[in-house]
Amino acid sequence: MRSILLVVASFAITILAWGLYGPVLHWGQAAMVTEAGHAMGEKYARLRPFVCVGLAYFAIGVLAPAVLLKLKGEQGEWSAGGILYSLAGGALGAIGALGIIMAFNFGGKPIFVMPLVFGGAPVVNSFLTIYWAKRMKEIGPVFMAGLVMVLIGAVTVLIFSPKPVKPAAPAPAVETVAEPTADVSANGVPTALDSHKMRDFILQIASIATAILCWGAYGPVLHKGQSAMQHSRLRPLLCVGLAYFAIAVIVPNLLLLALPEASHYSIKGTSWSLAAGAAGAIGALGIILAFNFGGKPVFVMPLIFGGAPVVNTLFTTITNGLWERVDAFFLAGLILVIAGAAMVLVFAPKNPPPVKKDA
């Protein structure tokens, strides 16, 4: 009974931490934009929040494991293959985090970005795991039905995501004939403004897709690293933290020297961004602890990928005052994403149990 409670407590920590990750990071991005940035139309910072995420991962994923390994040690050993796979897993996690930041920067909102990422990532995770296990021929109809549900739900969430009410434009004092503007041609065909919105939408989708692919591959790649280190827990986590530090701290700071950004390290923005990075790292640690206490991926991961977007959606709608604007179509799409992701993970082809040898 005690072990079951510890498993539930561990993955509940991950659900809560990963559910809050997107909205909190969004706040950090918004609080780091300078007045000059607002004047240029910038609403969210990109590189400096990413640096804060990397610093939080470094503290939780490098410093803490290094101290524990030094003081208490752990089973397993360092290996070249384990280090490479674990570093690759960390790089995928960091690039996925950057994908989410860029999705927000191009106009995406946590209320639909995070459910799409958490719905799509397990699909990628399952396909990659199945492919590496050479079990593609064993994919069944329920697995495919789950995949279709995720895709349909994702489209529904995108279309029907709640939006704040725009303030009504004041009525003109005198009725006049509208003159063509820079964004509308003489025959009324939209030009620059619509093309700008379309560009941002395409980049937003590309950023979400990057996060889905990277976070979906994160688990299988990291598992290979863990296996190559004789199922060590702290050593792979340390490698993940080092990869985050390189990609999310060193690289952005070099880019800031060459390409200055209209943002600054404000107390509010830095605090929220560090909190988001800590939430991401604590969520990863929660998964490790759930497995360590006897939890199995077959039910731990569906609960996490199903629960995190629910926490995200509830938190975002309540804090943004959008709860009254959530309609049945959006909720249906969210349910499809969650249920489809769970079906994909639960009904993915699995390795047969090991054959017992006769004594």
pLDDT tier for residue 356 given thresholds of 50, 70 and 90:
low
Q: What is the mean pLDDT of residues 152-178?
A: 65
pLDDT tier for residue 159 given thresholds of 50, 70 and 90:
confident
Find the helix or strand (DSSP H, E) in which 36 lies: helix 35-39
- pLDDT score of 1: 63
Q: Which residue has the higher pLDDT, 358 or 250?
A: 250
pLDDT tier for residue 243 given thresholds of 50, 70 and 90:
very high
pLDDT tier for residue 359 given thresholds of 50, 70 and 90:
very low
> Looking at the predicted structure, is the pLDDT value of residue 188 above 60?
no
- pLDDT score of 267: 95
* Backbone phi, psi, residue 190, to 5°: -60, 145
Cβ-defined contacts of 35-41 (< 8 Å, 24+):
36/262, 37/261, 37/262, 37/263, 40/262
Q: Tell me which range, 141-155, 175-189, 225-239, is most confidently predicted by mean pLDDT.
A: 225-239
Give which of 226, 219, 185 is closest to 75, Cα–Cα: 226
Across the chain, mean pLDDT equals 82
> Looking at the predicted structure, is the pLDDT value of residue 167 above 80?
no
Find the helix or strand (DSSP H, E) in which 89 lies: helix 80-105
> Looking at the predicted structure, is the pLDDT value of residue 109 above 90?
no
Using a pLDDT cut of 70, give the percent of the chain over it: 86
Q: What is the mean pLDDT of residues 127-156?
A: 81
- pLDDT score of 253: 93
Q: Are the beta carbons of 289 and 3 closer than 8 angstroms? A: no
> Looking at the predicted structure, is the pLDDT value of residue 332 above 60?
yes
Give the separation between CA 299 and CA 303, rounded to whole angstroms. 6
Angle, alpha carbons 212-216-219 (nearest 5°):
150
- pLDDT score of 315: 87
Q: Which region among 47-51, 85-89, 112-116 has the lowest average model confidence (pLDDT)?
A: 112-116
Give the separation between CA 266 and CA 336, rounded to whole angstroms. 39
> Looking at the predicted structure, is the pLDDT value of residue 353 above 70?
no
> Looking at the predicted structure, is the pLDDT value of residue 73 above 50?
yes
> Looking at the predicted structure, is the pLDDT value of residue 65 above 60?
yes
- Burial class, 39, CB count within 10 angstroms (exposed 0-12 / middle 13-18 / buried 19+): exposed
- pLDDT score of 183: 53
Q: What is the mean pLDDT of residues 107-123?
A: 83
Q: Which residue has the higher pLDDT, 262 or 161?
A: 262
> Looking at the predicted structure, is the pLDDT value of residue 303 above 70?
yes
Give which of 330, 104, 115, 95 is closest to 204, Cα–Cα: 104
> Looking at the predicted structure, is the pLDDT value of residue 350 above 70?
no
Q: Which residue has the higher pLDDT, 345 or 67?
A: 67
- Computed over its alpha carbons, how large is the radius of gyration of the chain? 22
- pLDDT score of 191: 55
CA-to-CA separations, 46 to 12, 29, 115, 211, in angstroms, rounded:
29, 7, 21, 15
Residue identified by tokens 């290979």 is 224
Give which of 205, 163, 208, 158 is closest to 329, Cα–Cα: 158
- pLDDT score of 343: 81
- pLDDT score of 273: 95
